[in-house]
Amino acid sequence: MATTGITADTSLDVSHRRVIFASSLGTVFEWYDFYLYGSLAAIIAKQFFSGLNEASAFVFALLAFAAGFAVRPFGAIVFGRIGDMVGRKYTFLVTILIMGLSTFLVGVLPGYNSIGVAAPVILIALRLLQGLALGGEYGGAATYVAEHAPDGKRGLYTSFIQITATFGLFISLLVILGCKMALGPKFDEWGWRIPFLLSSVLLAVSVYIRLQLSESPAFKQMKEEGRHSTAPLTESFARWGNLKVVILALLGATAGQAVVWYAGQFYAMYFLGNTLKIDATTTQLMIAGALLIGTPFFVVFGWLSDRVGRKPVVLAGCLLAALTYFPIFKALTHYGNPAIEAASTSAPIRVTADPKDCHVQIDLIGKKVFTSSCDVAKSFLTKRGVPYENVAAAPGTVAVVSVGGKDFPSFDGSQMAKADFAAKVKAFGEEVGAAVNTAGYPAKADPAMINKPMVMLLLWILVIYVTMVYGPIAAWLVEMFPTRIRYTSMSLPYHIGNGWFGGFLPSVSFGIVAATGDFYAGLWYPIIIAAMSVVIGGLFLHETKHVSIHD
């Protein structure tokens, strides 16, 4: 593609504002639904997977959540192809209809107690439909806005799409908190449906506004001249010259951007609530406050990328995250729940066990019972939410939990009757639990001990990293590919990066923490991926801010 100098400053007129607003509504929808489902996963598990035991029901609820991420790249392929052949406007009008209706239907879907196994089947189907639509939504929105933007302002214009992601999270947070406060205990019974039903308002506004838009000028001119692609999948992925850029965009840009985004907001939220035992309302309000203060920086870094380039801004965000995640999350413990920090120092907990006796405790059918001495010990500590260290023991050794130097032998329940095993587990838990309490490990964070200004500051820093990597990413991806296959080519690396590398970050990181007993071990996943993007992006991706997209 040809390059061009940056043109004179162009004002953000009414037509440009309409284009940005209409295109950004899909991102609002995406994150509104993401936060709703993620925040209400425990309630959804009870409503739609109540035929399983509590632990397996929650696992299935998370798997249904993950299904939406898994199919995003396929949606990128399907709708990207349509967008490059038919047009940007009509394709992402269809995607927002599918997204909006899927979210709304979750709110009216009968639960397991009403229609049995059909409830979770339909729920998963809706999640899959939504994931497919999301795969086509972002690429269309980013492409549409970028192709309307004047040269020298694509970073600024497309950053408004990114800012609405936080807007979607913020709306969902306010709706959830408002419904909880208004309905009290009834929220868990039926009130959880209201936030999903309210999505119909967003849908109506989105469809109305998008119907008023015209086709992208770059695509319209290309199609009138007969230069549009008739085989965008072949041109995007079967020709090495373009496929190489797709792969590099994934590994050198979107993978790192995705893990910084998810770690900085969703992993941080989980860490405060589940690990540090800070109550849900306080956690959500502090996250919301950090988002509110940090959100303008999406536009700041989008604007900055028009001056200094997309590459240095995005990769600097990845590098800062990789270098500082450990000290930031340790500081969150220090200021959020200092009692855990003090207890883990004065009375460290260790599990000494034969490694072959320890299993990954995930049961997808809700029937398996983990009975080894190591599993019994780790199951209790994981549920109790305390950090522990693994120490390898000789083969065949019964696992021992050590709390502050005092040992508590576990037991092998494989040959026990179900009732005897349950009674033994309860007795073991009470014994170890008493020691854990005595050692100072709190069951909940003491509100008086939470240094909220410092926690907010740390959360704000994490959000700043998010704005650095996310603000310029749309413009960078758009400028990497030619107009005729831009929708298809940019959508796939974005959604593999965000749907797979980012979307599965909570599951992977939580699994690492559960396996190691180390609160901070889960951070290795985003750190390694972010560092990988710094290296690959730094070596192999080009700066694109001077590239003309009107080829």
State the burial class of residue 13 (Cβ atoms within 10 Å of its Cβ: 0-12, 13-18, 19+): exposed
In this prediction, residue 55 carries a pLDDT of: 54
State the burial class of residue 131 (Cβ atoms within 10 Å of its Cβ: 0-12, 13-18, 19+): buried
In this prediction, residue 408 carries a pLDDT of: 96
For residue 178, which phi and psi values (nearest 5 degrees)? -65, -45
Kindly state the DSSP code that residue 392 receives in the 8-state scheme: E
In this prediction, residue 136 carries a pLDDT of: 83
Q: Which helix (H) or strand (E) holds 174?
A: helix 154-183
In this prediction, residue 304 carries a pLDDT of: 97
Q: Which CATH number fits domain 342-438: 3.40.30, 3.10.450, 2.20.25, 1.10.3470?
A: 3.40.30
If you compute the radius of gyration of the chain from its CA atoms, what whole number of angstroms results?
Answer: 25
pTM of the entire predicted model: 0.85
Contact 319, 535 (CB under 8 A): no
In this prediction, residue 3 carries a pLDDT of: 42
Q: How far apart are CA 512 and CA 519, in angstroms?
A: 9
Count the helix, strand and coil residues of the chain and give each as a percent rounded to the nearest 5: 75, 5, 25
Q: Any idea how long the chain is?
A: 551
Instruction: Give me the residue spans of the domains in the chain.
Output: 14-336+448-540, 342-438
pLDDT digits (tens, 9 = 90+) for 37-66: 877 877 888 888 877 655 566 667 767 777
* List of the chain residues with pLDDT < 70: 1-16, 52-59, 62, 361-368, 551
pLDDT digits (tens, 9 = 90+) for 386-443: 899 999 999 999 999 999 889 999 999 989 998 999 899 999 999 999 999 999 999 8
Query: Would you say the CATH fold of 342-438 matches that of 14-336+448-540?
Result: no
User: Which superfamily, per CATH, for 14-336+448-540?
Assistant: MFS general substrate transporter like domains (1.20.1250.20)
Output the six-digit token pair for 39.
């925040």
